């Protein structure tokens, strides 16, 4: 790990889902303390046990209710379906004050999930910002990575675009991207998250057309970052 590596306590809200478990797996493997959050403590405990069972190295994974997980973390990660996005943030906005929130949510509207459909705020991340307010630094990331890739524990042929309000918050998240074994790129202000989130619908369409599950994106023409 890098000399200036920092260990974080990361709460994954909606961590019992496949995307949440994939991120939990990779961050726990990298040495972070991961808290899997859920509305059901039983589901959170089962997910934590499942992720621990996937790892052959000692790891620090615990389970809590969503509100308790966020209260105890340094960085929160939101991996709930878009239908639960607003309700979940409304319930957690007080506990999120003073923290970084990584919003992984994509505004998919079934049954037309291959069609880009942004909410009135412009993107899920922008909607999150209107809900949690100025005391939370919202960063958008990981929308274009399939859970299959995260759970396979091997090199992933896909990059991560990171959008956020400040360069400092984006840098923290870019380091967390590197800790998952992926390549991250600073994609600018949070308003740019509309483009990144919209790419997910396009990738789903490509998956369906070609009979695959994990198409992704690569940034080319720029030297790879360390």
| DSSP label of 7 | -
70 lies in a domain? yes
178 lies in a domain? yes
80 lies in a domain? yes
Nearest CA to 220 among 170, 157, 165? Answer: 157
Q: How many domains does the chain have?
A: 1
> How would you list the strands of the sheet with 75-78, edge to edge?
60-65, 33-38, 9-13, 75-78, 100-103, 137-140, 159-164, 183-186
Q: What is the pTM of this model?
A: 0.94
Could you tell me the two tokens for 10? 């990361």
2 lies in a domain? no
How far from 7 is each of 2, 41, 154, 198, CA to CA, in Å? Answer: 11, 25, 22, 32
175 lies in a domain? yes
pLDDT in tens, the chain (226 residues): 344 578 999 999 999 999 999 999 999 999 999 999 999 999 999 999 999 999 988 899 999 999 999 999 999 999 999 999 999 999 999 999 999 999 999 999 999 999 999 999 999 999 999 999 999 999 999 999 988 889 987 788 899 999 999 999 999 999 999 999 999 999 999 999 999 999 999 999 999 999 998 899 999 999 876 5
The length of the chain in residues reads 226
Spatial contact of 39 and 69, defined as CB atoms under 8 Å apart = no
* Domain span at 141: 9-210
218 lies in a domain? no
Nearest CA to 147 among 13, 30, 17, 22? Answer: 22
20 lies in a domain? yes
198 lies in a domain? yes
How many helical (H) and strand (E) elements, i.e. helices and strands, does the chain have? 8, 8
CATH number of the domain residue 46 falls in: 3.40.50.720
């Amino acid at each position: 790990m890098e000399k200036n590596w920092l260990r974080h306590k990361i709460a994954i809200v909606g961590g019992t889902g496949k995307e949440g478990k994939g991120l939990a797996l990779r961050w726990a493997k990298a040495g972070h303390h991961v808290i899997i959050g859920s509305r059901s403590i039983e589901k959170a405990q089962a997910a934590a046990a499942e992720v621990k069972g996937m790892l052959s190295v000692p790891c620090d994974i615990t389970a809590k209710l969503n509100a308790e997980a966020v209260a105890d973390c340094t960085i929160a990660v939101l991996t709930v379906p878009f239908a639960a996005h607003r309700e979940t943030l409304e319930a957690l906005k007080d506990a999120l004050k003073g923290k970084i929130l990584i919003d992984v949510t994509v505004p998919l509207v079934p049954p037309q999930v291959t069609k880009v459909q942004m909410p009135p705020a412009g993107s899920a991340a922008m909607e999150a910002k209107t809900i949690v307010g100025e005391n939370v630094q919202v960063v958008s990331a990981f929308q274009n990575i399939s859970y299959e890739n995260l759970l396979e524990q091997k090199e992933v042929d896909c990059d991560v675009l990171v959008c956020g309000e400040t360069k400092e918050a984006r840098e923290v998240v870019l380091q967390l991207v590197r800790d998952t074994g992926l390549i991250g790129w600073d994609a600018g202000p949070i308003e740019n998250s509309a483009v990144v989130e919209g790419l997910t619908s396009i990738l789903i369409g490509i998956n369906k057309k070609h009979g695959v599950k994990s198409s992704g994106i690569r940034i080319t023409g720029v030297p790879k970052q360390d």
